[in-house]
């Protein structure tokens, strides 16, 4: 499989921004990513889905609030 850097190259700028934010913050909910990146909810949702397709980001249920998902960079 290609490196994360290679898989990131073809993604839109919004996905790269979300990826870099997660790299810096280590994890975050969609709402936190919207705040950090200043992108719209819809754009962050799209960026996350593109990152998940490339297996660059993984999600799990937040312990603080089971309704929310926490996103982090894939191992």
- pLDDT tens for the chain, 75 residues long, are 578 888 999 999 999 999 999 999 999 999 999 999 999 999 999 999 999 999 999 999 988 889 999 999 998
- Nearest CA to 29 among 49, 44, 40, 11? 44
> Which distant-in-sequence residues (6+ apart) come within 8 Å of 37 by Cβ?
14, 17, 18, 21, 44
| pLDDT score for 72 | 96
């Amino acid at each position: 499989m290609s490196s994360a850097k290679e898989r990131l190259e073809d993604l839109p700028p919004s996905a790269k921004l979300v990826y870099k934010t997660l790299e810096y913050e280590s994890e975050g909910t969609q709402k936190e990513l919207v705040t950090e990146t200043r992108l719209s909810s819809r754009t962050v949702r799209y960026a996350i889905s593109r990152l998940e397709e490339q297996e660059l980001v993984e999600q799990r249920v937040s312990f603080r609030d089971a309704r929310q998902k926490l996103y982090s960079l894939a191992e």
